[in-house]
Amino acid sequence: MRLRCVVLDDFQGVATTMADWSVIEDEVEVVTLREHLDGEDALAAALAGYDIVVTLRERVPFPGSLIARLPRLRLLVASGMRNGVIDYAAAEAHGVTVCGTASSGTPPVELTWALLLGLARGIVEESNALRAGGPWQSTVGADLHGSRLGLLGLGRIGSRVARVGLAFGMRVSAWSRHLTKERAAEIGVELAASKEELLASSDFVSVHLVLGDRTRGLVGAPELALMKPTAYLINTSRAAIVDQDALLDALHAGRIAGAGVDVFDIEPLPAAHPMRTAPRLLATPHLGYVSQANYTTYYRQAVEDIQAYLAGSPVRRLP
């Protein structure tokens, strides 16, 4: 009897085309779900009949209470090698193996710049006006060259964002709690004296930090109040690092020029969520990791993870 595998959140319907799943078809029946499952009861009911679950990034939480309701589950495959919404101890206690895949930092770097440039040059407004027969030019773009880019975080992704900023001729500074002057100098950027100094002096602020107890709510109303009224905030990292209600207030009040956001407290966003209609906001539906190359890696390695598990030698085990 074949095992049953379900691939969650295949929004584009491409999971089975990005890899050769036929190599496991003799042992595994694969089903994909294009609609997001929300809530533990819905997940428990929908996943009860599967031995293997392939989950996309951190979109679906797997707390111990859910894992306990899935007695048939034996293998959980997560895209990426870091996942903060899986209870690993509970998985181990219930005999569930958890494996990951590689994940490239290039797509979120590129999307960060897509949002930043889109805001700076009013791309959406001008394109919509042109297509609708509206005014010929209505915005005056913000210049990147000579302006200051402030990075909250200078890790794998932040450092690559910094190098692009330098190529544009921007003055780049960075801050995080453990960032050193030597590390900043390696990338060719300035170390900001403090988070507050970075926010107050930057024309563009981009968030590139790992979510944790120290970074949750790191940018709230007091921090947003420090930013210039002509400044833009970009967040392609984790939604909870920026207080969403405080950001909405700042956008509605015009306290900052705008924001580019790819991550949200609730995903997918409910139809009536205020982030869908906020002014001065360029928003995308968590596309940071969504690219041809990344999806190919995710699903090919998911198949590899399943093959290795079936062979009794799991690979890329998490955590």
Measured CA to CA in angstroms, residue 240 lies from 36, 97, 173, 187 at distances of 21, 28, 23, 27
Distance from C-alpha of 40 to C-alpha of 37, rounded to nearest angstrom: 9
CB-based contacts of 85, cutoff 8 Å, min separation 6: 58, 60, 61, 62, 63
Task: Find the catalytic residue in 160, 223, 286, 304.
Answer: 286
Query: Residue 152 in 3-state DSSP?
Result: strand
Cα separation of the two ends of the chain: 30
* Catalytic site includes residue 160: no
**For residue 39, with 0-12 CB atoms within 10 Å meaning exposed, 13-18 middle and 19 or more buried, which class applies?**
exposed
CB-based contacts of 90, cutoff 8 Å, min separation 6: 63, 64, 67, 68
Task: Find the catalytic residue in 267, 273, 300, 317.
Answer: 267
Longest dimension (CA), the chain: 65
Task: Find the catalytic residue in 57, 148, 208, 238.
Answer: 238
* Catalytic site includes residue 238: yes
Show which residues are catalytic.
238, 267, 286
